[in-house]
Homo-oligomer: A and B are copies of this chain.
Amino acid sequence: MPTHFADALHQRLAAGASPICVGLDPVLDKIPPTLRAEHPAPADAIHHFSRGVIDSIRGLAPAVKFQSACYERHASQGVAALEASMRYARDAGLLVILDAKRGDIGISSEHYAAAAANAGAHAITLSGYLGPSTIAPFLASGLAVFVLVRTSNPDSDVVQAQRLADGRTVAEMMADLVHTLGASHLSTRGQSSVGAVVGATKAAEAAALRARMPNQIFLIPGYGAQGGTASDVRAMLTPSRQGILVTASRSVIYPQANSGEDWASAINRAAKSFAAEIATVITG
C-alpha cells in the first residue's frame, strides 16, 4: 500500500523541511539563454530546465507542482517532457503534484487518473464543478487530490463568492464537499488525501474555510507575486500549525541572479529564502 500523501508530507516536514511547493511553470522566453542554446527543441529546453530546477530545490522543498498547461503547449513532445520531468522529481524524493485542474464525468476521470498516476504524480489538482463522481476515480487510483475551492485570481469572485440561499458562498459549499469526500481518506494523523486549493489572496475567508476543512491540506498559490502575505498564510494554519503547502513559481524559478551566480545557484538561493520565509510564518 502506498504511503498516504499526508504522511509522506509529514515525514519531510518532521525532517526539517518548510511546507513549500515550488511551481514549475516553464515558458520558453524565461528559460536561461545558455540552456536554450544547448537544447534548441522547445520541449527539450523545458525538460532540462525542469531537471535543473529540481536539482536546485531537492532537500529544500518537499513538493513540486507541475503546471500542465506549460508543457501541453508544446504538444506531445511537451507532454513527454512533462512525464520525464515528473519521473525525475519523484526519483529525487520530491512529492509530485500535477497541476492539471482536470474534472470530467467518472469514466473520463478514470482515464485522467490513470494518466497522472502512470506519469508518476502523487497528487493532482481538480475542479469539482461536475460533482463528487468526478473526484472519486482519482482517489481510487491512489492519488491525493487538491480540489479548487477558492482561487487566487481577482475575478474568481464572479463564481466563488456568490452567496447561496443557505448563507454559504459557492467556495464554502465546495469546501464542505471537499471535507465530506475527504472524511474517508484520512491518514493515521487525521489529515485527508482530499485537499483544497485556497489562494493566499483570500485571507479574509481563510479562517472560515479552515473551520470547514479541518482535515485538509491547503495548497496555497498567490503568495508573494500575487499579493498574498505571511499573515494571509498564517490564517490558514490548523490549530497545531499544520495543514498548509505554500506554492511559489516565478519568484523561485526565475530569480534575479547575483553577479557571477549561475541560474541553478540563483534558484537554490531563491528556494532557500522562500523556505525560510514560510518557516517564519509558521513559528511567527
User: Which residues of A does B touch, CB under 8 Å?
Assistant: 25, 27, 67, 69-70, 72-80, 83, 99, 101-112, 114-115, 118-119, 127-134, 148, 151-160, 162-167, 170, 173-174, 177
Contacts and interface: CB of A to CB of B under 8 A. Distances in A.
A148 B102 CA distance: 13
Contacts of A109: 69
A221 B158 CA distance: 26
A76 B77 contact: yes
B133 A159 contact: no
28 contacts: A25-B108, A27-B111, A69-B102, A69-B104, A69-B111, A69-B115, A70-B108, A72-B79, A72-B111, A74-B115, A75-B80, A78-B115, A105-B151, A106-B153, A129-B129, A129-B148, A130-B153, A130-B156, A131-B156, A131-B160, A132-B155, A133-B155, A134-B153, A162-B164, A162-B170, A162-B173, A164-B164, A164-B165
Number of copies of this kind of chain in the complex: 2
A69 B126 CA distance: 14
Given A103-B101, A159-B173, A170-B170, A69 B132 contact: no
B112 A131 contact: no
Contact of A115 (B72, B114, B174): B72
A263 to B, nearest CB: 21
B170 A153 contact: no
A111 B73 contact: yes
Given A69-B109, A73-B114, A130-B153, 12 more contacts: A25-B108, A67-B111, A69-B102, A69-B111, A70-B108, A72-B79, A74-B115, A105-B153, A128-B159, A129-B160, A131-B160, A163-B165
Contacts of A156: 130-131
